[in-house]
Amino acid sequence: MPSWHEAIIRDIRQLTPNVRSFRLEIPELEKFEFRAGQFVTFDLPIGDKRLQRWRSYSIASAPGPDNTLELCIVRSAEGAGTRYLFEDVGPGDKLKFKGPDGAFFLPETIEKDIVLICTGTGVAPFRSMLLDIQQRNTPHRNIHLIFGTRREADILYRDEFEALTKTLPGFRYDVALSREPDWQGWKGYIHQIYTQIYAEKRPDVQFYLCGWSNMIDEAVAELIIKLGYDRTQVIYELYG
């Protein structure tokens, strides 16, 4: 049986027009242990059946010495879960959750170049991984974060990732915007970035994908079928 915990919402911040950060504390634990890239599942009071009530979210903060975690949640127009989180709760309220769960994390020893490909709040587990690498000073090779969204106002953790390009050795950060004609960076979708930069198949690179099913499906097809990468070089976490 899963182990359920009670978390208290300590802080809510608006990150972009449609995304909020939720910082949670678990009073019953001295330390909340997890691996960067894992997720937690909430039991929200929004229905009678488990499938109606359970919602899973990747942890956006790095593992630390305390009993807190941070989530990065997008408001869904048709989602009862995010409607509840955005409209019915605030600091001091309690949420029931289980976890951590999932096997979407980096190896203990990083021996290949890492390419992190994501859209929207799919960046959450990658933020956790990058902060963890920086905080623990984990030996690594090159790490490339490729992030896609619609508009400049929707870029999540932009200041943090731009700062990491100066403080984390071997880190590269690229953003593609699909609906920002005056954007000075990559215009369109993220697939153009990795298909150009990693067009020549290499055995020393590992791709991690996180986002909605249509992005994952296209990226897997591009990397494995068109570019010829081995299936073991492409790992993904599906959001829907």
Task: Determine the pLDDT at residue 77.
Answer: 77
Task: Determine the pLDDT at residue 51.
Answer: 81
pTM check: above 0.85: yes
Q: Do residues 58 and 124 make contact, with C-beta atoms less than 8 angstroms apart?
A: yes
CATH of domain 113-238: 3.40.50.80
Tens of pLDDT, residue by residue over 150-162, are 999 999 999 999 9
- Give the rounded distance of the alpha carbon of 102 from its chain centre: 13
In the chain, residues under CATH classification 3.40.50.80 are 113-238
Using the predicted structure, report yes or no on whether residue 239 has a pLDDT greater than 80: no
Q: Do residues 192 and 176 make contact, with C-beta atoms less than 8 angstroms apart?
A: yes
Helix axes 158-167, 124-136, angle to 10 degrees: 30
CATH of domain 4-101: 2.40.30.10
* Percent of the chain at pLDDT exceeding 70: 99
Q: Do residues 120 and 211 make contact, with C-beta atoms less than 8 angstroms apart?
A: yes
Task: Determine the pLDDT at residue 78.
Answer: 76
Residue 227 banded pLDDT, cuts 50, 70, 90: very high
Tens of pLDDT, residue by residue over 23-41, are 999 999 999 999 999 999 9
Q: How far apart are CA 184 and CA 34, in angstroms?
A: 38
Residue 147 banded pLDDT, cuts 50, 70, 90: very high
Q: Which residue has the higher pLDDT, 79 or 142?
A: 142
Using the predicted structure, report yes or no on whether residue 109 has a pLDDT greater than 90: yes
